[in-house]
């Protein structure tokens, strides 16, 4: 009888000790649920916004459903508003810029962390200084330079600008991860007769897949949403991107707000899909790059 009483008392103490932790987790879940609703609310609002006409946008409550879902707003912007052309330009310019930026950043980071050479610290500092230069202060010099090189109204001016401004932050993201990579694997490859190029492309680069995903999504978000470079360097309809194409629906006397909402919704979807697909890799890359050893 005494043994049974002791056992019950131990179980009661265990339950009481777990209770504060359960309450804490419950509060945490409630707080995170509220944050998730706050984060999702603008997307739901924009979705409803894109399915209304001007009268419904200004007369109905923000989250009220329209009398009918106006999917023709999406058809209108895709065909009449040339959004299909702007969308294609955004896609290929973003992919080219991201690919070149990530590859160059990987090569630079490999050289900075795996090789010993003169001016190594100076070059690293030079890239870090690049993070401190405001974008707006470079517009006039860049425009003047591209004018002399006949690159205004040319996609190369946009791609070069994206690469130059994203390279420092991409290197910074990769540095912490590269320092955690074991050198023993590369030393074994050297013993087997591997060249530097083969070590990088066959061994080091595949080992950095998680941090590459982080760098890719960060570069994609910046390039996809970038406005000022395209608006400054590109005036031809042929090479405009989605962020600038929204202006087509803003007139001198009237503005088609439903079409603008549809354009914004189209511009958000690719980044959302990419983020969902790469979310696990992004977390791995951030976590791995934050701890050394």
Q: Measured between alpha carbons, how far is 262 from 47 in angstroms, rounded to an integer? A: 8
CB 239 within 8 A of CB 154: yes
Query: What local confidence, expressed as pLDDT, does residue 288 receive?
Result: 53
CB 67 within 8 A of CB 56: yes
Write out pLDDT tens, residues 133-171: 888 888 999 999 999 999 989 999 999 999 999 999 999
Query: What local confidence, expressed as pLDDT, does residue 291 receive?
Result: 47
Query: What local confidence, expressed as pLDDT, does residue 89 receive?
Result: 92
CB 172 within 8 A of CB 240: no
Burial of 212 (0-12, 13-18, 19+ CB in 10 A): buried
- The average pLDDT across 23-36 equals 81
Residue 260 binned pLDDT confidence (cut-offs 50, 70, 90): confident
Residue 15 binned pLDDT confidence (cut-offs 50, 70, 90): very low
> pLDDT over 90 for what percent of the chain?
20
Residue 64 has what DSSP assignment? P
Query: What local confidence, expressed as pLDDT, does residue 217 receive?
Result: 87
Contacts of 135 (CB under 8 A, 6+ apart): 165, 228, 229
Judged against a pLDDT cut of 60, whether residue 19 lies above it is answered with no
Query: What local confidence, expressed as pLDDT, does residue 120 receive?
Result: 85
Q: What is the 3-state secondary structure (H, E, C) of 143-164?
A: HHHHHHCCCCCCHHHHHHHHHH
Query: What local confidence, expressed as pLDDT, does residue 100 receive?
Result: 96
CB 226 within 8 A of CB 97: no
Contacts of 52 (CB under 8 A, 6+ apart): 60, 66, 70, 257, 258, 261
Judged against a pLDDT cut of 50, whether residue 292 lies above it is answered with no
251 vs 158, which has greater pLDDT?
158
Total count of residues recorded for the chain: 293
**Average pLDDT of the chain to the nearest whole number:** 82
165-174, 207-216, 275-284: lowest mean pLDDT where? Answer: 275-284
Place of tokens 């031809």: 236
Max intra-chain CA distance, the chain:
96
Write out pLDDT tens, residues 100-141: 999 999 999 999 888 888 888 888 888 888 888 888 888 999
Query: What local confidence, expressed as pLDDT, does residue 93 receive?
Result: 94
CA distances in angstroms from 263 to 131, 231, 245, 269, listed in the order given: 31, 17, 8, 10
CB 126 within 8 A of CB 219: no
Place of tokens 């009268």: 55
Judged against a pLDDT cut of 60, whether residue 62 lies above it is answered with yes
Residue 293 binned pLDDT confidence (cut-offs 50, 70, 90): very low
20 vs 227, which has greater pLDDT?
227
Kindly tell me the sign of the dihedral angle through the C-alpha atoms of 281, 168, 94, 249.
positive
């Amino acid at each position: 009888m005494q043994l049974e009483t002791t056992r019950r008392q131990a179980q009661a103490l265990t339950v009481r000790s777990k209770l504060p932790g359960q309450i804490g987790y419950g509060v945490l879940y409630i707080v995170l649920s509220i944050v998730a609703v706050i984060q999702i609310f603008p997307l739901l609002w924009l979705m409803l916004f894109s399915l209304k006409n001007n009268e419904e946008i200004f007369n109905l409550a923000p989250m009220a459903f329209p009398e009918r879902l106006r999917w023709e707003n999406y058809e209108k912007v895709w065909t009449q508003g040339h959004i299909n052309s702007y969308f294609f330009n955004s896609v290929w310019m973003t992919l080219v810029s991201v690919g070149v930026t990530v590859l160059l950043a990987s090569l630079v980071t490999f050289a900075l962390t795996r090789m010993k050479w003169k001016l190594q610290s100076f070059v690293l500092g030079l890239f870090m200084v690049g993070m401190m230069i405001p974008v707006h202060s470079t517009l006039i010099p860049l425009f003047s330079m591209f004018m002399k090189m006949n690159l205004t109204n040319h996609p190369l001016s946009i791609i070069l600008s994206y690469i130059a401004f994203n390279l420092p932050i991409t290197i910074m993201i990769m540095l912490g991860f590269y320092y955690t990579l074991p050198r023993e694997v590369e030393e074994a490859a050297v013993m087997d007769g591997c060249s530097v190029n083969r070590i990088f492309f066959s061994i080091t680069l595949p080992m950095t897949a998680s941090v590459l995903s982080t760098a890719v999504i960060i570069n994609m978000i910046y390039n996809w949403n970038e406005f000022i470079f395209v608006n400054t360097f590109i005036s031809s309809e042929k090479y405009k991107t989605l962020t600038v194409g929204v202006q087509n629906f803003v007139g001198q006397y009237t503005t088609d707000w439903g079409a603008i909402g549809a354009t914004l919704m189209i511009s958000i979807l690719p980044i959302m899909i990419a983020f969902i697909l790469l979310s696990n890799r992004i977390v791995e890359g951030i976590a791995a790059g934050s701890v050394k050893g």
